Structure 1
Amino acid sequence: MTAFRKLGGMFAIILLIIVWAVIVASAAPLVGRWPILLQLPFYLVTGIIWIAPLKPLLRWMETGRWRVEPPRG
């Protein structure tokens, strides 16, 4: 089952990157008209923000759970 999760997770990561790249690239004609000092933060933020969904996805790939279990006891 772990191999399935890892394979599925890898496909999900690739899909996430492709979808995010299409979304950001589709904004390029609009953002390209902005001054460079506004474009820079836009592309910095959008270049980092796609990483946020990776943590739960990687956790699921390793453990089979989406959330962290609270400590017992």
Structure 2
Amino acid sequence: MSIDPRPTYRPSWRKPVGMFMILGLIALWAVLVGSLSGLIGRLPMVAQVPVYVFLGLIWIWILPLKRLLSWMETGRWRGF
């Protein structure tokens, strides 16, 4: 009689769904920034950098993905 020491692992459906949501966010972000590129392109270079940093890092990655990744791991939308 042998007891398997490895715990049984059942993959969560949240991870594949979360990955598709991340891809959707990337596509949405690309369309949004692409549509705003004419407006942003008129700004001086010194002003363009903070706009793209805000849109690229804070608005699309840090704020929504923090909760999405938390949901993928724990099943709760609250932060880490």
Range into which the TM-score falls when normalised by the shorter chain: 0.7 to 0.9
Alignment partner, residue 71 of structure 1: none
Is the aligned partner of 1:39 residue 2:48?
A: yes
Which 4+ residue blocks in structure 1 deviate beyond 6 angstroms? none
The answer on 1:66 being equivalent to 2:77 is yes
Larger CA Rg, structure 1 vs 2 = 2
Report 1 or 2 for greater relative contact order, CA contacts < 8 Å, sequence distance ≥ 6: 1
Letter in 2 for 1:28: S
Q: Report whether the alignment pairs 1:5 with 2:14.
A: yes
**TM-score, structure 1 normalization:** 0.82
Q: Percent identity?
A: 51
Q: Which runs of 5+ in 2 are unaligned?
A: 1-9
TM-score (norm 2): 0.76
